[in-house]
Structure 1
Amino acid sequence: MNIEHLIYFITTVKYSSFTKAANSLFISQSTISKAIRSLEHMFSIEIVDRTSKKFKLTSEGEIFYHSAVKIVQQYKDERQLLETRLVSRSGTLILGVPPVTITIVHKILADYQLAYPNIQLRVLEIGANKVYSLLKTGAIDVGILIHPVNDAELINYPVIKSEVVCVTNEKHAVSKECNITWKMLKEKKFYLLNDTFMLHDRVMSCCKSNGFMPNIILESAQWDLLIEAVCTSDGVTFLPKPIVDKFCFNKVHQFSVHKPDLLWIPTVTYHREKFITTPIKLFLEFIKKKSYLEKNREEFLFCV
């Protein structure tokens, strides 16, 4: 149903004249006549008594008129509410962030809250695979996933570029090697983030591509537990380099693993068909601000 046709009809009833209604709406009389004919055709009724010399509604037209007034008024009310919500710098942003990543991007979130104090930021600390599932169903507004995200339904903005490093205690035999490859880790004990994390899948994929399944001793959602595990054993774990550098640089030994190299590129992601509310729009604009990225150019990627 065309809302404009209802407005034309209501205006015609208001003036009891096609001509006066057309003049008040700055349209032609034929446009109004066609609109009313269209409404009559849609409902298979006559709403204007064309046998009367004066403008007059049929009994069906009277019923139709009262309903049309309610529909148009509700439309106007909802439109006004929508416009208010869209321009208002308030509301809620639901963001899914892996626990490993949040320790690095927390400054972005803190700066966003400082810039827009009236926006409620709800952060769900969950593994990237769970973030992906919630993005697909629309249960969250924005999520942080790990590049590459091979899904045409999702739009991505990389924000940080680093690598995943292998972490051991300083006495581990591997720590004395140079140019470590995945094949050299075949017989080692693995302590991994659990399968809710995309990093888990990437490590498993690297092992499989080198012809072996890792000997997994422990899986956990807590990266600090993995650090403690390797500090007291001869196992290895795999974590983003920024995490290791920031929280345990002097506690463990870290090194890159090659063939293949394992990059760590968190990306801000949202569903292509997601309705972009003001909080979402402001968040996306915020992370893409070049002025913000320049302050952190050693860690943050260009992402406009």
Structure 2
Amino acid sequence: MTVLRNIFLFLSKNKRLTIVAKKYGFRFGASRYIAGKSIPEAVEVIKRLDGKGLSVTVDCLGEFVDNEAEANATANHLVRLIETLGQESLDAEISVKLTSLGLDISNDLALRNMKRILDAAEQQNIFVTIDMEDSLRCDQTLEIFTLLKLSYKDIGTVLQAYLYRTIEDLHVLKPYSPSLRLVKGAYKESPEAAFSEKQAIDDNFKKIIEIHLRNGHYTAIATHDDAIIEYTKQLVSKYQIPYSQFEFQLLYGVKADRQLELCREGYKVRLYVPFGEDWFGYYMRRMAEYPANPFPHKNKSAGRKMGIHLLHK
């Protein structure tokens, strides 16, 4: 299983395969996790989820942009998304990857584009989360987040439990009263940067959940791990943490019954809903997380064919 996970993570960073994958579209099961390629397609999915009592955070897929024109175009697209979500009055936030806004070109470019997005979001009363990417970009991401937090109220970011540095990052961020999404982590990291054993990651995940909740800051617990969900419920009961201070976040397309079950229990549930043309990297990381069942039953054969085809390109 580890070998298969590593293969998917390797594929997720291959730009040539991303181009090939766009050609084949959603025929091989990607629609299970991705809400279409356009803003109108994503909005239709969000409306259906909204009707079930589920909140969303929308991710316009794309990352590792290497030219300024593309970074600016992505920012323009996100502004249009924000305006559309505001017009539709949906319970929706957005999630943004700084590399899609030019982080690998310069911090200043990413910062300028983020300010444009946050200005638009402020007008529509929409919360924005800066996604965390791999550990090499962690310092840049937190630097930009803390700078923006001084001027914008409705902004959060993400910390990853598998990184050794995360507890220290929690302490550094505490004075900013940050709203954080806490996750296990989905990128391939070196042993120098991250835990690799599940138990160690889970233990650290529990620690950061408790620290952040007890600090009194808004906490999004992003996981499908029932043990982590139950642990969070126990913390909430033990420390009398109000339901308004936290939410569970789950991925669109994963454990739909569990999402609705948590809603019925009275918990705030928000789905991470990605859409867009540049879907391949995200899809491969989801495959890495769930390698035992990467394709819906009706698409398993097609999925294997896609894998073989891409690997031989």
TM over 0.5: no
- TM-score tier by shorter-chain length is under 0.3
TM-score normalised per structure 1: 0.22
TM-score normalised per structure 2: 0.22
Give the strand-richer structure, 1 or 2: 1
Larger Rg: 1
Q: Determine which structure has greater relative contact order: mean sequence separation of CA pairs < 8 Å that are 6+ residues apart, divided by chain length.
A: 2
Give the helix-richer structure, 1 or 2: 2
